[in-house]
Amino acid sequence: MNAAGAHLHRLTYNRQLIVDDVDSRHVVNHLIAQGVLDVDDDEEIRAERTRKDKVELLIEKVTEGGPDAYKHFREALGDNYQHIVVKLDATPMDAGNYQRGDAFVHKGSNIDMKFAERNKGATKYVEVKGDGNFVLMADHGSQINFNNGRKPQDYM
């Protein structure tokens, strides 16, 4: 797994802990000083209604922030969130090799995913079956539709 994939994996794996525990105000200034975020990003984060929404947007900005963004985010957690740094560093790396835009299933889940790609464009359709939980990650501006019983080939 390359470094970007590993960083994305660590953030994804620990996302709920980060959202539950972090206050974005404690890390944003460091990320601005390091060039990961700018003033517009800070205003956008502050405009979110809840603390958790602010942290969700912060994580999204970090995942889009370039090759050093994760390192600076980890540094920004510093002494205030050392328990999260420990969890990030101890994240099991056996969940698969993926990057933004990929779909994956964690080992041991009861989920079956089947993929189909439309011939034109970058549209991906994923059929998910099973009795487990799954996570959807998408870039800003992505559209996710849930269609009961319809198969990807129905759209082609």
Least confident range of 14-23, 39-48, 54-63, 143-152: 143-152
Domains, the chain: 3-89 (1.10.533.10), 111-155 (no CATH)
Who has greater pLDDT, 105 or 30?
Answer: 30
Residue 44 in this model has a pLDDT that exceeds 90: yes
Q: What is the pTM of this model?
A: 0.62
User: 59-88 burial, b for 16+ CB within 10 Å, e for fewer?
Assistant: bbbbbebeeebbebbbebbeeebeebbebb
pLDDT for position 6? 87
* E strand or H helix at 112: strand 111-117
Do 113 and 103 meet the contact criterion of CB atoms below 8 Å apart? yes
Residue 119 in this model has a pLDDT that exceeds 70: no
